[in-house]
C-alpha cells in the first residue's frame, strides 16, 4: 500500500540514497524503497550515510515555493510543461517544434522546479549522520551524477512523507 506519510511536521525520518556505494540494491528494490521508505528492501553497509529529514507543514511548503519564485514563475512554461508528452523521443520532437520564446519559458519553469526542490530540502533536511546539515553540503557532493541523484531521491522521500498522494485520498 502506498501510504507512508507522516502526520506531524515535527516527526523525522532517516533515509539513505541508493547511489551511496555502501547501499546495494537492484532497480526493482530501489523503486520499492523509494515508494515505501522501507530500508528492508536494501542491503546496507556499515558506512552508509543516513539523512534525517522531516515532513513539511503547509506553511513550510508554501514558503519553499515562494522562495523558489512561485510569484514570478513562467505561466507559459508551466502550461507547456503540463502539455509535454511523456515519451522521451516524442517529447524531443515536440520540443523541437517550439518557438524560442516557448523554449525559454519551459527552461525558466524547469529552473523554478529545481529551485522548489532545493528549497524543500532546505526546509526538511535536519542532519547527515546525526550532524546538523544544510543544503549547501549536498551541493558539494561529487561526482555530479551522485549530487543530482541524492537531491532527486531526497525530494522523493520528502514528498512521500509530506503529501497524501493519490493512494491516500
Partner 1 sequence: MIASSVWLSFSRGRSWSCDQCRVTQGLRKKRGNCGGAFNDALPMVQRDERGLYVPGYRVCPDSGSEYSDMQIRSCPVAGANRLASIISAYHRHRSGLYPISSSHPQPSCAFVDAVDTLHMHTESAQHRAQQRAIEENKHG
Q: Which residues bind partner 1 (CB under 8 A)?
A: 1-3, 5-11, 55-58, 61, 161-165, 167-169
CB of 57 to partner 1, least distance (A): 6
CB-wise, 23 or 64, nearer to partner 1? 64
Q: What is the Cα–Cα distance from 158 to 12, expressed in whole angstroms? A: 10
**CA quadruple 83, 89, 92, 97: dihedral sign:** negative
Nearer to partner 1 by Cβ, of 6 and 98: the residue is 6
Strand order in the sheet with 125-128: 12-15, 51-54, 125-128, 131-132
| 85 or 168: CB nearest partner 1 | 168
Q: Is 37 left (phi over 0), alpha (psi -120 to 50) or beta?
A: left
Nearest distance, CB of residue 141 and partner 1, angstroms? 27
At closest approach, how far in Å is the CB of 27 from partner 1? 17
Contact 13, 52 (CB under 8 A): yes
Q: To the nearest whole angstrom, how small is the minimum distance from the Cβ of residue 65 to partner 1? A: 11
Amino acid at each position: 500500500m502506498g501510504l507512508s506519510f507522516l502526520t506531524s511536521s515535527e516527526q523525522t525520518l532517516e533515509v539513505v540514497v541508493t547511489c551511496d556505494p555502501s547501499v546495494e540494491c537492484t532497480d526493482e528494490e530501489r523503486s520499492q524503497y523509494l515508494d515505501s521508505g522501507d530500508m528492508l528492501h536494501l542491503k546496507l553497509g556499515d558506512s552508509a550515510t543516513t539523512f534525517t529529514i522531516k515532513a513539511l507543514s503547509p506553511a513550510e511548503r508554501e514558503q519553499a515555493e515562494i522562495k523558489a519564485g512561485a510569484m514570478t514563475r513562467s505561466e507559459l512554461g508551466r502550461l507547456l510543461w503540463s502539455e509535454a508528452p511523456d515519451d522521451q523521443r516524442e517529447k524531443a520532437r515536440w520540443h523541437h517544434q517550439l518557438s524560442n520564446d516557448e523554449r525559454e519559458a519551459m527552461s525558466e519553469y524547469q529552473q523554478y522546479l529545481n529551485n522548489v526542490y532545493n528549497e524543500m530540502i532546505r526546509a526538511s533536511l535536519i542532519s547527515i549522520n546525526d550532524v546538523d546539515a544544510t543544503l549547501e553540503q549536498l551541493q558539494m557532493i561529487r561526482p555530479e551524477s551522485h549530487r543530482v541523484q541524492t537531491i532527486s531521491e531526497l525530494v522523493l522521500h520528502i514528498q512521500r512523507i509530506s503529501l497524501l498522494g493519490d493512494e491516500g485520498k
